[in-house]
Amino acid sequence: MENQITFTRRGAWAGARAALPVALGAGAFGIVFGVLARQTGLSLAEALLMSAIVFAGASQLVALGLWVTPLPVGALIVTTLIVNLRHVLMGASLHPWLAKLPRGRVYASLFFMVDESWALTLGALTGGGGDGAFLLGSGLTLYVFWGTATTIGELAGGLITDPTQWGLDFAFTAVFLALLVGLWRGKADLLPWLAAAVVAVAASYWLPGKWYILLGGLAGSLVGAFRRGD
């Protein structure tokens, strides 16, 4: 874990390739976003701009739910901030590795940090890969798929049937599960993970949007911090 960290073209390519399977799932999700954006009345340019600038699927879908005329600008921006607060935890968890890289590269790469690229990068770095460009590469793959899918969804409108019938929605869960297996260090992880699961499930029932990720992550990690299992 204390290995030298690099930032190479090879690392970026490794990330780009690793992200391909999940990018298919993200693409299916992006098509759904494009279809709904069109139904909501966003032009292709507006939907594509949102996907290119915000690049955070859940918050974009939530925004569509609030998208009425006249636009509630403040509510849209605040809601987006809240839905995406989980990124703060994710970014903090990458600090031990990224801190050794030039700031410009880190801040550029972090633009492309989404749930999937974060999880894959974490897996690569804890596995001893040691290349920070993995985040940029995996994020860029997802970015391209996300933008393309948004466009397809906007243009195809109602023609697309439910992409979940191909099991693509499970791709996210499967990737996160496989990465979690790699993080398992022993029984000390059990209680923090259980706390995270219970809080996340409860929050997903009682709170809207993506609060459950932030709250479950906080609960589980705090239990971990106070157990000092290692």
Partner 1 sequence: MEINPVALLTILGMGAVTYATRIGGFWLLGRITPTKRVEAWMRAIPGAVLVSLIAPALLAAGVVGFIAAAATVLIAARTHRLLPALVVGVVIVAVARLVFHAG
Q: Which of 3, 10, 39, 95 binds partner 1 (CB under 8 A)?
A: 95
Among 33, 55, 134, 145, binds partner 1 (CB under 8 A): 55
Q: How far is the CB of 6 from partner 1 (least distance, A)?
A: 18
Stretch that binds partner 1, among 6-14, 27-35, 69-77, 151-159 (CB under 8 A): 69-77
Residue 172 binds to partner 1 (criterion: CB under 8 A): yes
101 sits near partner 1 (criterion: CB under 8 A):
no
Alpha-carbon torsion (185, 189, 190, 193), positive or negative? negative
Q: Of the listed pieces 8-16, 27-35, 147-155, 189-197, which binds partner 1 according to CB under 8 A?
A: 189-197
Number of shown-chain residues binding partner 1 (CB under 8 A):
97
Residues 120-159 as x/- pattern, contact with partner 1 by CB under 8 A: x-xx--x---------------------------------
> In whole angstroms, what is the distance from residue 196 CA to residue 217 CA?
6
222 binds partner 1 (CB under 8 A): yes
Q: Which of 87, 133, 141, 143 binds partner 1 (CB under 8 A)?
A: 87
Binding segment (CB under 8 A) for partner 1, from list 7-15, 27-35, 145-153, 196-204: 196-204
222 contacts: CB under 8 Å, gap ≥ 6 = none
Minimum distance from residue 29 beta carbon to partner 1 (Å): 13
Instruction: Considering only the stretches 3-11, 32-40, 148-156, 172-180, report the one whose residues sit in contact with partner 1 under the rule CB under 8 A.
Output: 172-180
Residue listed under structure tokens 């994020």: 139
What CA–CA distances, in Å, run from 230 to 179, 185, 190? 20, 9, 13
- Binder of partner 1 out of 77, 156, 157, 208 (CB under 8 A): 77
- With binding defined as CB under 8 A, does residue 207 bind partner 1? no
Which residue, 89, 85, 91, 86, is CA-closest to 112?
91
Question: How far is residue 107's CA from residue 12's CA, in Å, rounded to a whole number?
Answer: 15
| Member of 35, 50, 133, 140 binding partner 1 (CB under 8 A) | 50
Report 3-32 residues binding partner 1 (CB under 8 A). Answer: 18, 21-22
> Is residue 180 a contact point for partner 1 (CB under 8 A)?
yes
